[in-house]
Chain A
Amino acid sequence: MASPLRQLVLARIRESLRHPETIFWTFVFPILLAVALGIAFRGERIDPVRAVVVDAPGAAEIARGLRGNGTATVEILPRDEAERRLRTGRTAILVLPGEPLLYRYDPTRPDSRLARERVDRALQNAAGRTDPLRASDSPVTEPGARYIDFLVPGLLGMNLMGGGLWGIGWVVVEDRIRKLLKLQLATPMRKRDFLLAHVLARLLFVPLEVAPLLFLSWLAFGVSSSGSLLSLAAVATAGALSFAGLGTLLASRARTTATISGLINLATFPMIVVSGVFFSVGRFPGFLQPLIRALPLSALVDGLRGVMTDGAHLAALWPQFLVMGLWGTLCFVAALWLFRWT
């Protein structure tokens, strides 16, 4: 490594480590996430459905039928109040007594759809229906197949993305605003070394961003990686470099912190939604799939999931590495071209 580049990387690392905020966001954010998950996934049992029976003749009987077998927590409320509960998401379904019974629910809400099926079954059974076919449940509880196992790689990817974009974008723009870059401009330093130092310094933060979340989710939920930690590190590093490249591009011209936060949010929010952090990419229509797969966060999350849940070999993840590599490289080259010191 050439001497100016080494000094620039050292300076970046020293500055980051000497800012308590950096450490806070690096460690505390993933820990907060893990705690939030701990609350959301505190037990294996399924929460009872929240249902409201609209106050009308027959309401009490319906409520008794639902409460009887513990299917639902039930309240009887006037129509207005009941509708308000439904609108604000505090109940999953309304049951309107009458002939026929009326279920009011939002079919686009998964918990509402589930509530409708369970409420209907409970009421039908209470009314005397018997199942012609005997069946029993065998819940999936083994690590690797739960939602939390799906979620952790997504959160890791999101964390690496945020670290790269904010860690580089924000810092470079702040230095530009404080005219710190102007003096360096009068020296024979290369723009390439300056930007590359920011990218390389990010590597130090990969273990800090990945390890705490990984450790806590293992401790609390038994989430583990079926692939080797080395493969996981390789995917995480590729992702970090890819987003570091994107970070330099976003930071290349912005002159206010408002601009850079806008740019970063513009880049991150759509990816958090479509790239399969919280739910499968498969929910989007087929014609969008190639587009989504070409996003750096999709590639990173896919890669992390491939290693963690499927134990995939790195060689099998070449498309993901290709996507991350292209994003990182092209963005970095574009940043070199667009970058302004002042």
Chain B
Amino acid sequence: MAKDPADGNAPLTGRSDRGSAGGRGAAVSLGGLVKRYGDVVAVDSLDLEIRSGECFGLLGPNGAGKTTTIEILIGLQEPTAGQVVVLGRKWGEDDRSLRARIGVSLQETRFPERLTVAEVVTLFGSFYPRGRDVSSVLREAGLAEKADVWTSRLSGGQRQRLALACALVGNPELLILDEPTTGLDPQARLQFGDSILSYKDRGCTIVVSTHYMEEAQRLCDRVAIIDRGKAIAVGSPGELVASLDAHLVVEVELAAGDVEDDALRRVAGVSSVRRENGALLVSVREAHVTVPALLDLFRTRSLSLAHLTLRQATLEDVYVALTGRRYRDG
């Protein structure tokens, strides 16, 4: 995890390389990061390299260590051990100038209740040397109509958007969003994701943590799957899915009766079998071989199907394959 020499010496205002830097140079590198609280290990020798200009997802169930990692990343917590290099700097050297280059939205942010949305964003903008025009930030965050509303009157989704606006108003080189969509309904999550996607094009590096696998798959150039304080897989969602032994999943719901997992595993081309919410999830390598074979099996057992879908494997399947545990995003 050596820090990138080109980035390490970049002056604070040297942002000319931002637009073209996509994929080159490390915006963040974490080396052997450990955080212990007494006997509890929250982060367990985590190594990560986040490239300039990418949208990087920290993915994992609640309690995996994502928030701790982010709080260390933004200098709110000290690691027990390990190196943290952010935009070529370390925390404790000149924190104020480093913070000026980072926009942060923390989990479940609260705002002064009786300030309006525009007042809060103006306040946060004033902290940054290159603060942006407030009304354009509000437009981007989808809060233009709420500019004069007290923050206490905002819905959960609007509040998350306000947190995003506060993170954006400083014109950051690095945008860090901790669980920005937690608690939102699927519709609001989709909208929020669209907002985030539009910033990727600005050459700004984005680090986003989420426990929604499908969200990470949609938004992120690369993700790290975090489990029990370790990064158990790092790569683009496509690469991670491709790395699976079988990257297709047959979802089967039986109308009645059941079939034992072993019988399914013996079917040609089946890589693994698991069950979720009453459905059988069968990972297969080649659909044209295995699907007919599965149908044969059901026919010989006289089992009738309620439902059968063939889909691409997702990050959730990657998580299950790597940990052997079911993924819970609750």
Contact = CB atoms under 8 A, between A and B. Distances in A.
Interface of A: 3-4, 6-8, 10-11, 14-15, 18-19, 175, 178-180, 182-190
A243 B223 CA distance: 52
Contacts of B127: 4, 184, 187-189
B112 A7 contact: no
Contacts of A15: 112, 114-115
Given A14-B119, A175-B112, A180-B111, 4 more contacts: A14-B115, A183-B106, A183-B163, A188-B100
Q: SS class of chain A's interface: helix, strand, loop or mixed? A: helix
A5 to B, nearest CB: 9
B114 A183 contact: no
A182 B106 contact: yes
A309 B31 CA distance: 70
Contact of B126 (A4, A18, A180): A4
A189 B100 CA distance: 9
Contacts of A186: 74-76, 99, 102, 104, 106
Contacts, number: 64
A11 B99 contact: no
Interface string B150-192: 1000000000000100100010000000000000000000000
B124 interface: yes
Nearest to B95: A188
A187 B115 contact: no
Given A183-B166, A186-B106, A188-B100, A6 B114 contact: no
A190 B115 contact: no
A11 B123 CA distance: 8
18 contacts: A4-B126, A7-B122, A7-B123, A8-B123, A14-B119, A15-B112, A15-B114, A178-B110, A180-B110, A182-B76, A186-B75, A186-B76, A186-B99, A186-B102, A187-B170, A188-B97, A188-B99, A189-B127
Contacts of A18: 114, 150
A337 B116 CA distance: 32
Nearest to A16: B114
A172 to B, nearest CB: 12
Interface string B296-330: 00000000000000000000000000000000000
Nearest to B99: A188
Nearest to A178: B110
Contacts of A187: 99, 104, 124, 127-128, 170
B96 interface: yes
Nearest to A341: B76
B109 interface: yes
Contacts of A11: 112, 115, 119, 123
A178 B75 CA distance: 21
Nearest to B170: A187
Given A3-B126, A14-B114, A14-B119, A183 B109 contact: yes
Nearest to A189: B127
Contacts of A190: 96
A185 B112 contact: no
A179 B112 contact: no
Given A7-B122, A183-B166, A19 B76 contact: no
B147 to A, nearest CB: 15
A15 B112 CA distance: 8
Nearest to A17: B114
Given A180-B110, A186-B76, A6 B128 contact: no
A184 B166 CA distance: 10
A57 to B, nearest CB: 73
A194 B2 CA distance: 37
A13 B150 CA distance: 15
Contacts of B115: 11, 14-15
A202 to B, nearest CB: 17
Nearest to B169: A187
A63 B153 CA distance: 70
A188 B104 contact: no
B114 A179 contact: no
Nearest to A342: B76
A171 to B, nearest CB: 10
A322 to B, nearest CB: 34
Given A14-B119, A186-B106, A187-B99, A6 B126 contact: yes
Interface in B211-239: none
Nearest to A19: B114
Interface in B79-97: 96-97
B97 A179 contact: no
